[in-house]
Amino acid sequence: MLSRVANSLYWMVRYIERADNLSRLIEVNGQLLLDHERLDSDRLRAFWKPIILSTGDEELFGELYGAWEEGSGAVIRFLTNDRRNPNSIVSSIALARENARMVRDQLSEELWEELNSLYLFINSRDGEALLANDPTRFYETIRRATFTFHGIAAASISRSDSWEFMDLGRHLERADKTTRFLDITSFLPESEVPANGTATFHWTAILRSCGALGAFRAEHRGEPNEEIVVSFLMFSRDFPRSVRYCVDRIDRNLHRISGAPRGTYTNEAERVSGRLLSELSYGSTDEILATGLHDYLDGMQERFNSIGGGMFRTYMLVRETGDERPPIPAASVSSVVAWQMAQQQQ
């Protein structure tokens, strides 16, 4: 497969997954604030600031909006429809469509139509009006469209290298966002760190942001707390948004692309993914909490970046090929052209 095609397919799905996760995160936190009508403006900022910090876009946000004076409205606008933010929902969908446009011959008509319809919706007056008047429904529309996109892709894309790069992008982005959602607590000020009375409320919100509340309740009868939620979202072998499940799929995708058997590696991305999968298969929540949740998750995100970088260098970075020769002096160019024409005629 051409490196350009692989790169476009990979990022197309990563951007769609990013839009889905941000929609979920904003919707959940917006609903939580409705249940906290007594919060003053300072405490409202204390709830929203960790979300920006967890996405890693705090520097850009500070440049665009200042030192958090505008509160939750600015954060929602920055993450939703601010085109100056390349990671906003609107920007992510636009970039996904642009990548899809470049490889339309690799996609089914149904898949392109669904993505194009979503792009037209977010740029329409109806979409802007829905966001202003009924934001909950707006984010729900985004989420349902991304679900439809993934469903059409699963039903219409051959299980070739095209599918492997798409599936790889989806699970790498999903694993990254799950760790970032778990890390939100680390950025809360000490006055807002969940105490015993509010811990259930806080960890329930994180589960909802990951779309994991129903699956969690099916496995656990008790109330959510830090240890159980971290264990479920990090180590579950069955829940499709857990970090362990995503890394297993990432490792499988990489080995199917290279053709190497699992348990071995032929490039840096396979080496990092295999080692990470082993650690998640035999790790424990006690080890994570002993290390410190933030430090552990920060290291996990660096590993994801290493996988993405290793994959790019192996499959997408165009290397110079052929023998390196000194540049031809300008005076001798005409004689070289004449020689080449003679060779072609022979």
Q: What is the largest CA-CA distance in the chain?
A: 87
Task: Give me the percent of the chain exceeding a pLDDT of 90.
Answer: 63
Task: State residue 28 phi and psi, 5-degree precision.
Answer: -65, -45
Tell me which residue of 96, 44, 101 sits closest to 72, measured CA to CA: 44
Secondary element (H or E) of residue 13: helix 3-34
Q: What is the mean pLDDT of residues 289-313?
A: 94
What is the per-residue pLDDT for 31?
64
How far from 318 is each of 4, 254, 260, 338, CA to CA, in Å? 9, 19, 22, 31
Residue 295 or 320, more confident: 295
Q: What is the secondary structure of 112-126 as a DSSP string?
A: HHHHHHHHHHHTSHH
What is the per-residue pLDDT for 72?
73
d(CA 214, CA 203): 13
CB atoms within 10 A of CB 287: 11
263: region left, alpha or beta (phi > 0 left; psi from -120 to 50 alpha): left
d(CA 346, CA 330): 26
How far from 50 is each of 58, 187, 193, 275, 320, CA to CA, in Å? 9, 5, 11, 30, 43
Residue 49 or 189, more confident: 49
Secondary element (H or E) of residue 85: none
Range of lowest pLDDT (53-57, 78-82, 88-92, 333-337): 333-337
Whole-model pTM over 0.95 = no
Round the average pLDDT of the chain to a whole number and report it.
Answer: 84
56: region left, alpha or beta (phi > 0 left; psi from -120 to 50 alpha): left
d(CA 80, CA 30): 13
| Residues 18-45 pLDDT 10s | 999 999 888 877 666 555 544 444 555 5
Secondary element (H or E) of residue 105: none
For the chain, the distance separating the N- and C-terminal CA atoms, rounded to the nearest angstrom, is 34
* 3-class DSSP assignment, residue 208: helix
Contact 200, 209 (CB under 8 A): no
CB atoms within 10 A of CB 25: 24
Token pair 């099916």: residue? 218
